[in-house]
Amino acid sequence: DTGVSQNPRHKITKRGQNVTFRCDPISEHNRLYWYRQTLGQGPEFLTYFQNEAQLEKSRLLSDRFSAERPKGSFSTLEIQRTEQGDSAMYLCASTPVSGTYEQYFGPGTRLTVT
Amino acid sequence: AQKVTQAQTEISVVEKEDVTLDCVYETRDTTYYLFWYKQPPSGELVFLIRRNSFDEQNEISGRYSWNFQKSTSSFNFTITASQVVDSAVYFCALSEALSSARQLTFGSGTQLTVLP
């Protein structure tokens, strides 16, 4: 399977704990995106990488959130001191730099903060 | 700022009926891209189609067809002869060429239920 993969698929954590999610994009896709989707809503953009450089961050990305993409391959999204409002599906997508703009999504990580 | 509106929250149809999902968008960019994605119960977003703002030719692909009208800022999606497997949430999305990130702005989705 050469699609976007995300781990873990589900994460339950207690308020105040730190969590980290991983995304492995499609091989050779330079652009990588993180989105957040809450129940009944469409995904909302969080941040974007081109290769290893984080080039844009949404205002939704508070100081408790940090994302990395070392070596321009996989990416991690960390949430520190989780809050109940962080409960959501976290989606990763990738696309090549050149090309046709459509993004290919992974299955997501569902976070529940209790 | 860009915005995508999907006014239909939920639609139910009986199998074999045709169904149209509406999408209206707002953008100040003259070059932009419109998309439809499908999110089945499994949760993974599946890309269906992309249209460029400078290409208003409508398209048919099997049971799917798309109607892009710049004059009304609409990009509607029709499923002909619907099937139970079409049941999913469908999202319309917009990407502006002026945005270096090319991030997608999604509508709130339309839940389509096809009854047997």
| Nearest Cα to Cα of residue B39 among B95, B101, B106, B99 | B106
Alpha helix stretches (DSSP H) within chain A:
none
**pLDDT band for position B57 (50/70/90)?**
confident
Binary contact (A95, B91; C-beta < 8 A): no
Mean pLDDT, rounded, for A47-68: 92
Tens digit of each residue's pLDDT (9 = 90 or more) over B78-116:
999 999 999 999 999 999 988 888 899 999 999 999 999
Quick check: B95 contacting A, CB < 8 Å? yes
Mutate to test the interface with B, among A105, A109, A110, A111 (most CBs of B within 10 A): A105
- For A65-101, letters b (16+ CB in 10 Å) and e give bebebeeeebbebebeebeeebbbbbbbbbbeeeeeb
Quick check: B108 contacting A, CB < 8 Å? yes
* pLDDT value at residue A110: 97
Residue of B nearest to A53 (CA): B101
CA distance A8 to A15: 18
Tens digit of each residue's pLDDT (9 = 90 or more) over A18-27:
999 999 999 8
Mutate to test the interface with A, among B3, B104, B111 (most CBs of A within 10 A): B104
Q: Which residues numbered 37-76 in B keep a CB inside 8 Å of some CB on A?
A: 37, 42-47, 50
Mean pLDDT, rounded, for A56-75: 92
CA distance B105 to B37: 12
